[in-house]
Amino acid sequence: MQCSDIATMRVTAQTTDEGGQAAASHIAGAAAPRRLRIALVTPMLPVPHDQTRGRYIHETARSLSRLADVRVFFQSLRYPSLPLLRPRSFIYGEVGRDYRLDGVDVEAFSYPAVPVVSRVLNGHVGAAVLGPRVRAWKPDLLLAYWVYPDGYAAVRVARSLGVPCVVGALGSDIHVRSGLNVWMTRKTIAAADALLTVSEAMRHTAIDNFQADPARVHTVVNGFNTSVFRPGSQREARQQLGLAEDGRYIVFVGRFVEAKGVLELLSAFSQLAAGDAKLRLVLLGDGVMRQALLERVAASGLGERVIVPGGLPPLEVARWIRASDLLTLPSWSEGYPNVVVEAVACGRPVVATDVGGTREIVNPSNGLLVAPRDVEQLRSALRAALDRHWDHDAIAAAMRRSWDDVAAETLRVCESVVATRRPGARP
């Protein structure tokens, strides 16, 4: 059922005359139905110090805002100024109240935290800070992306307001959980009115590992910006970027952290580069391992053959992908990796690890899958992909899912939850 069908149902009355014959009659002059009022809660959005973070949430929120009244409550943890009390797994930076984002009504705020120490309290403190802001906006529903602590905080606030809450799981917030996080994640999933997952693989993980009710788990896979990630001339892209026309380019897009497989990628590339003078590796992104990667590249003697442009906006990422021969993502775990979708949309083949929902994107016609943390498999697959003739137009033609599709499916779940809300227990 399309969103237009839902809207039509709202303004159509089904009547039955005395003879028992049904007749549909539109309510003449009736006002348009009120748009659903959604408070979207998330810690994941592009920020000045990390432009690639949460791009998929930004795109979803922007498209959803065309179908409903949406305010994004962008909450982040505020850590002490002491270096030893700052997070080490991601690039940290404070976001001010003046934070703005294209196409989205956003309110940014933060609350204090200490790495590891405050983990069990973050959901409670987050709820206390989030509550007054959401209450003043008077939503019909809360939609939280990132299960704990943000989804937990959103569920608590929703229960206090007497409205439902839908929680969206993105990847690491289910796949990379340990200790107290497992317990708090399970509590959040049990209390949510519905759970959104970005892949079927993640849906099964939520059901099997976190005892989610299958009837309340909905897969809404990510889309891509069809005006940005699209097929184009490889030659033209290389000219614009100042790259050699006859070069062979492998592109990686992601965070510079160990779990993205960047060390395995450097090892595999080093072996390939020894027998291919035209081969280059492009590392797009940023992260806590940036300096360590640069030092490793320099020590290997491959400094001139590894290009590190940094974290770039989507238009520039798309240009690098179109300039490449293939994209690789050797992650240890994934939800539904959007960069793989974007590469396929540009008509480029992919070599990726068979984790999470990646196999729901990659197939023999558009790429190769390998086991995670296996340098030899990665090296062999990269070589095979570089040597194979790919039908770039066919690769791109098979990928057609937009963020508007994602927004429409998300709205259907939200509307269904509002219409048939179950009594929920407090977490």
Q: Does 343 fall in a domain? A: yes
Q: Per the domain annotation, does 31 fall within a domain?
A: no
| CB proximity list for 149: less than 8 A, separation 6 or greater | 119, 122, 123, 126, 184
Q: Is residue 10 part of a domain?
A: no
pLDDT of res. 33:
74
Are 48 and 104 found together in one domain? yes
Whether 243 contacts 323, CB under 8 Å:
yes
Residue at 26 is within a domain: no
Q: Say how many domains are in the chain.
A: 2
Decide if 178 is inside a domain: yes
Same domain, 276 and 413: no
Q: Are 180 and 295 in a shared domain?
A: no
Q: Is the pLDDT of residue 214 over 90?
A: yes
Question: Which of these ranges, 10-24, 27-41, 70-84, has the smallest mean pLDDT?
Answer: 10-24
- Write the CATH number for 367: 3.40.50.2000
Structure tokens at 67: 């179908």
307 in a structural domain? yes
* Residue 136 counted as domain residue: yes
Residues 269 and 308 both lie in one domain? yes
Are 61 and 207 part of one and the same domain? yes
Is 184 a domain residue? yes
CB 167 within 8 A of CB 154: yes
Do 144 and 95 fall into the same domain? yes
Contact indicator for 319, 241 with CB cutoff of 8 Å: yes
Q: Tell me if the pTM is above 0.85.
A: no
Tell me: do 218 and 258 sit in the same domain. Answer: no
My answer on whether 176 and 244 are in the same domain is: no
Q: What is the pLDDT of residue 137?
A: 97
Are 345 and 246 within one domain? yes
Using a 10 angstrom Cβ sphere, with 0-12 exposed, 13-18 middle and 19 or more buried, the burial of residue 324 is buried
The number of CA neighbours under 13 Å toward the Cβ of 25 is: 9
Same domain, 258 and 219: no
pLDDT tens sequence across 31-57:
567 899 999 999 989 887 777 788 889
| 67 vs 286, more confident | 67
Per the structure, the complete domain to which residue 59 belongs is given by: 37-223+403-419
Residues 139 and 245 in one domain: no
pLDDT tier at 121, thresholds 50, 70, 90: confident
Same domain for 388 and 281? yes
